[in-house]
Amino acid sequence: MQKSVTFKKAGISFSDVGKGTAVVLLHGFLENTSMWKDVIPQLSKRNRVIAIDLLGHGKSDCLGYVHSMELFAESIAAVLKQVRIRKCVVIGHSLGGYVALAFAEKYPQKIKGICLMNATSIEDDAERKTLRLRANKMIQKNFENMVRMSFTNLFGEKSRSLFKAEMKAALQEALKTPIQGYIAGQEGMRIRPNRTAVLTENNFKKLIIIGEKDPVLDLETSLNEAKTTNSEVVVFPEGHMSHIENAPALTLALTSFVKRC
First to last CA, the chain: 27
CA–CA gap between residue 212 and residue 216 (Å, rounded): 11
Where residue 246 falls among pLDDT bands split at 50, 70, 90? very high
Task: Give me the pLDDT at residue 198, please.
Answer: 97
Where residue 73 falls among pLDDT bands split at 50, 70, 90? very high
- Of 75, 31, 26, whose CA–CA distance to 49 is shortest? 26
CA–CA gap between residue 223 and residue 231 (Å, rounded): 10
What is the overall mean pLDDT for the chain? 95
Task: Give me the pLDDT at residue 237, please.
Answer: 93
Assigned CATH class of 3-260: alpha beta
pTM above 0.95, yes or no: yes
Is it the case that residue 152 has pLDDT exceeding 90? no
Q: What is the pLDDT of residues 189-235, one digit of tens each?
A: 999 999 999 999 999 999 999 999 999 999 999 999 999 999 999 99
CA–CA gap between residue 205 and residue 223 (Å, rounded): 17
Task: Give me the pLDDT at residue 63, please.
Answer: 96
Where residue 157 falls among pLDDT bands split at 50, 70, 90? confident
What residue spans define the domains of the chain? 3-260
